[in-house]
Amino acid sequence: MVSPELLAGTVLARNMTPEQVAVLSEHGVVRMFEDGEQLLSADEPGHDLVLVLNGSCVVRGVLGDVVGSIPAGSLVGEMSFIDKRPRSASVYAKGTTTVAIFPENLVDQLRGKYPDVVSGVALNIAEVLCIKLRQATRLIDAANV
């Protein structure tokens, strides 16, 4: 279980009531990674959603180049969580990093009894994806100048 207090200030719990955050927190598992330890691997079949609670991560593309960094409070693996396809990048801890891992069937677990929590999670993930898409668009535009 993830502490509701830790979860409350994150992007995944944005605009959720304390009761909704408490429900969501029951479905996460906290895990710690040491510096350089791999959290996710490109092309792996896993579809869990990862929330960085403390520390940060480095994102490496399929060729091993650093393509980004993930600060505390950010999501990792949200695309695979949604579309159930293999991961598009590998993610490594930068320093000691604590994450909350939510199972790939989170939506199914919550849908019947807590549709409001599912709606909140979906909207928050959509917002994260929109932000990342806008950033990618800017990078592509900059590369074409």
- Listed by start position, the domains of the chain span 4-143
CB 55, CB 93: distance < 8 Å: yes
List C-alpha distances in Å: 35 to 57, 76, 91: 9, 17, 11
What's the maximum distance between 2 C-alpha atoms anywhere in the chain?
A: 51
pLDDT at 136 over 80: no
- CATH number for 4-143 (one of 3.40.50.1000, 2.60.120.10, 3.30.70.260, 1.20.1260.10): it is 2.60.120.10
Q: What confidence tens digit (pLDDT) does each residue in 15-68 have?
A: 999 999 999 999 999 999 999 999 999 877 789 999 999 999 999 988 888 888
Q: What confidence tens digit (pLDDT) does each residue in 102-128 have?
A: 999 999 999 999 999 988 999 999 888
If 0-12 CB within 10 Å is exposed, 13-18 middle and 19+ buried, where does residue 141 land? Answer: exposed
Q: Is the full-model pTM beyond 0.75?
A: yes
Structure tokens at 18: 């304390």
